[in-house]
A and B are shown apart, each in its own frame.
Chain A
Amino acid sequence: MRRETERETGNGTRETWFRRAAQAVRRIVGAPDYDAYLDHCARVGHPPRLTEKEYVAQFFEAKGKGVRCC
């Protein structure tokens, strides 16, 4: 079985290009990405257990434990 590392975006329309760019920027700065979570839930096959608000709150809490370098 072949799976993509990023979300499946076959068609190169302007909208998908923009979404992918926005997702890349979010990942680089370490911003929450609820779409990635929904994607993950769909792939594993369970309904999302967190609302967007809960997801964002948990994400920030986890981010606060990360290290920034000098």
Chain B
Amino acid sequence: MKRLGSVLLWGATAALGGAAFGVLALSRGETVNAAWLLTAAVCTYAVGYRFYSKFLSTRVFGLDDRRATPAERFNNGRDYVPTNKWVLYGHHFAAIAGAGPLVGPVLAAQFGFLPGTLWLVIGVVLGGAVQDFVILFCSLRRDGKSLGQMAKEEVNRAAGATAMLAVLFIMIILLAVLALIVVNALKASPWGLFTIACTIPIALLMGWWMKRWRPGKVGEASAVGAVLLLGALVAGGWVASQPHLAPLFTHSATALTLMMVAYGFIASVLPVWMLLCPRDYLSTFLKITTILVLAVAILVILPPLRMPALTPFASLGEGPVFAGKLFPFAFITIACGAISGFHSLVASGTTPKMIARESDARLIGYGGMLMESFVGVMAMIAACTLDPGVYFAMNTTPAALAQASQVLGQAGFVVTPDFMRELAARMGETTLLARSGGAPSLAVGMAQIFAGATGALGGGGRTLDALWYHFAIMFEALFILTTIDTGTRVGRFMLQEIAGHVWPRFAETSWYPSVIVSSAAVVAGWGYFLYQGVVDPLGGINSLWPLFGISNQLLAAVALCVGTTILIKMGRARFAWVTAVPLAALVTITMTAGWQKVFSADPRLGFLAHAASLVGSTSRDAARVIFNDRLNTFVALLFMTVVTILIVTSLREWWLVLSRRKMPVVHEAPYVETEYATGD
């Protein structure tokens, strides 16, 4: 009877999801409600979690609750602590979710809502969640070792070094592109800049509170910080309306670039408790609440999607937001919501040290990533509730908009300058044109959804638009800055470790000369790419975001390579397809994209073609742009080479093991029986 109920329930879930996909796919010309998108996504996640993740945990990985986890064996009450699985789910989600799943889908909305949503939903179930789960599992069986260490032990030393180098370069590109998003959101926006600037003294106060005054009282400090932050948000509106104050917080993109670079350097050099930890707490609280509120608001108003399922840019490949056709660029652009290599760093970092029993890894690794994908779907909904004309006017530089004007006109994606002025005024901004990077358009979408929800619940409605807009901007900028703090610091540790092989003193993480030199080097690295993105006439995001997507997904390829190797060595070669298939897909996507970014004959797409088109130009900037195109070429080729090396070494290892030329040795920690009660 119970079995019949289960069959009926899951049959109905699958049928409902299928029907929702049908509605999305077959609607042409009419407006679709976001409810269909949500239904399709949630049903797919449910079926994927119930069946596929169960198959992975029982048949493929063989999770064993009788085996003691690192948290139990090394329990020290600090970083190794057995934790309730739902609590750890929250912790893990807060660590993996950032700006990526919000921004990627907004940019990919240029192809229409369908391609991006399909990749978000299918990619996560078969790829992204599998990657997070397999790395969490491998690290769990190896005392919580990092991805780099596992690559070194299970594949070979070269693979370990390659993985580490890849992480460092990816970090630099990632920080540059995230900083660019903040710069584009805050330029000429006194309200936004004032609010974000206030987060620095607020964080310092919180740091002093929870370190010096009342040690460990994070809750109190965060509550005070959150109240002050909301105060700063409201005060920002007042500051922007004061003729003598507003100019103090109105800056060009270049000036903001210098501020970001200075900030990143200071944050990396200061002790962590002063800026990094307090900001991290503030952004974690804000992130979790905002995402919950957004989910509720979308459910309350169920907005219609004004963007069509597919736009002409899917096949033309001349989109004004970023160049390139649907394949491979939709897959590259939606970086984090579908599959993100970065997660493998978290899944082999703090999380495996806190898992109480092996079977919990299914909810945390696989389930955590499903939630991240759901955030991506919500971002897609927020972007697609915008009028397409507004969306393209906001996300495109004037030059790119002019190039695409004919296609935009034919598709009816036009908007009058008056309308844009009125919208900007409603959001409390001077202009919303050419605010590329995704954050402002997501903020407008979120502001409309929040204002619609408060209106539906009897609140102030449209009068709150400006406040919600700046709330959304603050929310994104805050956790981007958290990533910049931690990323610069992690980059500095890596650099210190690498340089320490040559000069051991340099590896001391508290030796000030080394701290300053390595911080400056990391900041200079991402600062250069940021500056290049700010002055790029085509908008920066156009070249930097694909480069980031490629690098992030290549890191995912590294993680899947390590996972496949371990599965083969464990004698589970017949199940190796669970990681090998997403690996093959990712390598195809990223290598195609990398190749096109370098060698495409279209100057809007290919770095080399763009450089060639400027040869002989009389413009003063031409020489610099040509140099940058060549540098981007070098970076893209470097990523591709690094991954090729890793794949070749892994393939060799697989062949040696499978042909029994080499004994498969897995470096798992020895089996220790758990002392926890099991079976309940």
Interface residues of A (CB under 8 A from B): 1-3, 5-6, 22, 24-34, 36-41, 43, 52-53, 55-70
Quick check: B342 and A70 within 8 Å, CB to CB? yes
B47 at the interface (CB under 8 A from A): no
The complex places the Cα of A60 from the Cα of B211 at a distance, in Å, of: 9
Query: Which residue of chain A is the closest to B487 with respect to CB atoms?
Result: A68
Nearest first, the 4 closest Cβ-Cβ pairs linking A and B are A64-B272, A40-B77, A37-B77, A31-B218
The complex places the Cα of A43 from the Cα of B75 at a distance, in Å, of: 10
Which among B77, B98, B277 is the interface contact of A36 at CB below 8 angstroms?
B77
A5-B356 CB under 8 A given contacts A26-B219, A56-B216, A64-B272: yes
Quick check: A40 and B219 within 8 Å, CB to CB? no
Cβ contacts under 8 Å, B84 to chain A = 5-6, 24, 27
Quick check: B95 and A66 within 8 Å, CB to CB? yes
Cβ contacts under 8 Å, A65 to chain B = 489-490, 493
Cβ contacts under 8 Å, B216 to chain A = 31-34, 52, 55-56, 59
* B477-496 residues at the A interface, CB under 8 angstroms: 479, 482-483, 486-487, 489-490, 493
Quick check: A28 and B91 within 8 Å, CB to CB? yes
The complex places the Cα of A4 from the Cα of B262 at a distance, in Å, of: 48
A60-B273 CB under 8 A given contacts A28-B91, A69-B98: yes
Quick check: A56 and B215 within 8 Å, CB to CB? yes
With a 10 A CB-CB cut-off, give which of A24, A29, A30, A69 has the most chain B CB atoms.
A69
Q: How far is the CB of B610 from chain A (nearest CB, A)?
A: 26
The complex places the Cα of A43 from the Cα of B235 at a distance, in Å, of: 50
Quick check: B78 and A58 within 8 Å, CB to CB? yes
Residues of B contacting A: mostly = helix
Which among A31, A38, A40, A67 is the interface contact of B95 at CB below 8 angstroms?
A67
Compute the total of residue contacts between A and B using a CB distance below 8 Å.
150
B393 at the interface (CB under 8 A from A): no
CB pairs A–B below 8 angstroms (16 shown): A5-B676, A6-B83, A26-B219, A28-B284, A29-B91, A29-B94, A30-B280, A33-B77, A40-B77, A41-B77, A57-B273, A59-B216, A68-B487, A69-B95, A70-B340, A70-B552
* B325-355 residues at the A interface, CB under 8 angstroms: 335-336, 340, 342-343, 345-346, 349-350, 354
Quick check: A32 and B218 within 8 Å, CB to CB? yes
Q: How far is the CB of A8 from chain B (nearest CB, A)?
A: 13
B76 at the interface (CB under 8 A from A): yes
Cβ contacts under 8 Å, B577 to chain A = none
Interface residues of B (CB under 8 A from A): 75-79, 81-84, 86-88, 90-91, 94-100, 174, 178, 210-211, 215-216, 218-219, 222, 272-273, 276-277, 280-281, 284-285, 288, 335-336, 340, 342-343, 345-346, 349-350, 354, 356-357, 479, 482-483, 486-487, 489-490, 493, 552, 675-677
Cβ contacts under 8 Å, A33 to chain B = 77, 81, 216
Quick check: A60 and B277 within 8 Å, CB to CB? yes
The complex places the Cα of A6 from the Cα of B87 at a distance, in Å, of: 11
Q: How far is the CB of B401 from chain A (nearest CB, A)?
A: 27
Cβ contacts under 8 Å, A5 to chain B = 82-84, 356-357, 676
Quick check: B96 and A24 within 8 Å, CB to CB? no
The complex places the Cα of A8 from the Cα of B98 at a distance, in Å, of: 35
The complex places the Cα of A19 from the Cα of B427 at a distance, in Å, of: 42
Which among B86, B95, B273 is the interface contact of A68 at CB below 8 angstroms?
B95
Q: How far is the CB of B120 from chain A (nearest CB, A)?
A: 16
Cβ contacts under 8 Å, B489 to chain A = 64-65
Cβ contacts under 8 Å, B96 to chain A = 69
Quick check: A70 and B482 within 8 Å, CB to CB? no
A62-B79 CB under 8 A given contacts A5-B84, A52-B215: yes
Cβ contacts under 8 Å, A31 to chain B = 216, 218-219, 281
Q: How far is the CB of B79 from chain A (nearest CB, A)?
A: 6
Query: Which residue of chain B is the closest to A36 with respect to CB atoms?
Result: B77
Quick check: A64 and B349 within 8 Å, CB to CB? no
Q: How far is the CB of B252 from chain A (nearest CB, A)?
A: 26
Cβ contacts under 8 Å, A28 to chain B = 87, 90-91, 94, 284, 288
Query: Which residue of chain A is the closest to B86 with respect to CB atoms?
Result: A24
Quick check: B490 and A37 within 8 Å, CB to CB? no
The complex places the Cα of A22 from the Cα of B98 at a distance, in Å, of: 24
Cβ contacts under 8 Å, B552 to chain A = 70
Cβ contacts under 8 Å, B343 to chain A = 69
Cβ contacts under 8 Å, B285 to chain A = 29
Cβ contacts under 8 Å, A43 to chain B = 75
Q: How far is the CB of A1 from chain B (nearest CB, A)?
A: 6
Query: Which residue of chain A is the closest to B677 with respect to CB atoms?
Result: A2
A68-B83 CB under 8 A given contacts A29-B284, A32-B216, A53-B215: no
Quick check: A36 and B81 within 8 Å, CB to CB? yes
The complex places the Cα of A33 from the Cα of B676 at a distance, in Å, of: 22
Query: Which residue of chain A is the closest to B88 with respect to CB atoms?
Result: A27
